[in-house]
Amino acid sequence: MLLRFVDVVSILVAGTMTGTELTVAVFLHPTVSRLPDQVHASAARSFAKVFGRYMPFWYALTLLLSIVEVWLHWPLVTAGSKLLLTASLLWLFTIIFSVTFPVPINNRIAAWNLDALPKNWREERQRWDRLHAIRVVLLLLALTSLVSGTLKA
């Protein structure tokens, strides 16, 4: 009973986080990027602040839950438990990737002075979007591993 409860909570937390990041990549940022420059920059800064404040906790919780999944399904003798380990490693890699690449850009965007935008502000946004697309692929792979692992375990 506890095992299935943790499975459901893990999938819900990971699924909603991945869905949020996918929504940012597919709908939110492409729409914002078509707005006039001042509105685009203002919206980008606002989103950078909000996501920069909450996403680290969501990512950490997702990683923690995936590690609990591995622990609950130990030893790694089944295909399901190996998929759960794969999910945990992918979450960890995604966090390291995020902290190394998109997060520093996000922090710069969150600190923008809208009256004196950097000359390369659009390039920064485009670079963040490209890095975020890589992150979304990693998240989708991790979520797929998590769901498959819980179904097979």
CA distances from 96 to 44, 70, 103, 144 (A): 23, 20, 10, 19
| Nearest in space to 51 (alpha carbons), one of 25, 12, 85 | 25
Based on C-alpha coordinates, what's the Rg of the chain?
18
The yes-or-no verdict on residue 119 having pLDDT over 90 is yes
Its pTM surpasses 0.85: yes
Measure Cα distances from 100 to 96, 105, 128 in Å.
6, 10, 12
Res. 76: pLDDT tops 90: no
- How do residues 13-71 score in pLDDT, each as one tens digit? 999 999 999 999 999 999 999 999 999 999 999 999 999 999 999 999 999 999 999 99
Q: What one-character-per-residue DSSP string does 10-56 give?
A: HHHHHHHHHHHHHHIIIIIHHHHHTS-HHHHHHHHHHHHHHHHHHHH
Give pLDDT tens digits for 85-105. Answer: 999 999 999 999 999 999 999
All structural domains of the chain with their residue ranges: 2-152
* CA–CA distance, 144 with 10 (Å, rounded to integer): 12
As a dihedral over the C-alpha atoms of residue 145, residue 61, residue 49, residue 144, rounded to 10 degrees, the angle is 10
What's 120's DSSP letter?
T
